[in-house]
Amino acid sequence: PQKFSDTVNEFVTKYQVGEENGIPIVAAPAGSDVYIRASTWQWYPILQLEKGQEYRLHISSMDLQHGFSLQPVNINLQIIPGYDYVATITPTSTGDFTIVCNEYCFLGHHTMVGKIIVK
């Protein structure tokens, strides 16, 4: 988990373009690897992607089992610490997409909401 966390931090430092409610917004070049870290009770960072462009989305958990559910798109992944889940994605529509945790991760579970912005 620490190595993945370090990779996410480097990714944010390199590609941050803004911030929303204290969470960095990151816009990596089309075709690149993008990273999201799950931890109690936060998705980090916010991704800004381009419609029609392919990305390799890496997701891992730092602490507990979490569920990655991208709404309203039907993408659901179970995220477990120590694993780097990789999904190749190509956004097909623009807008703000909500990430919710669909695996109960204790008291703050209901606050675990993230975002992917597609332009």
Angstrom distance (rounded) from CA 16 to CA 47: 9
- End-to-end alpha carbon distance in the chain: 30
pTM above 0.85, yes or no: yes
Per-residue pLDDT of 18-42, as tens digits, reads 999 999 999 999 999 999 999 988 9
HSE-CB for 51 with a 13 A CA cutoff: 8
| Among 24, 19, 64, CA closest to 44 | 24
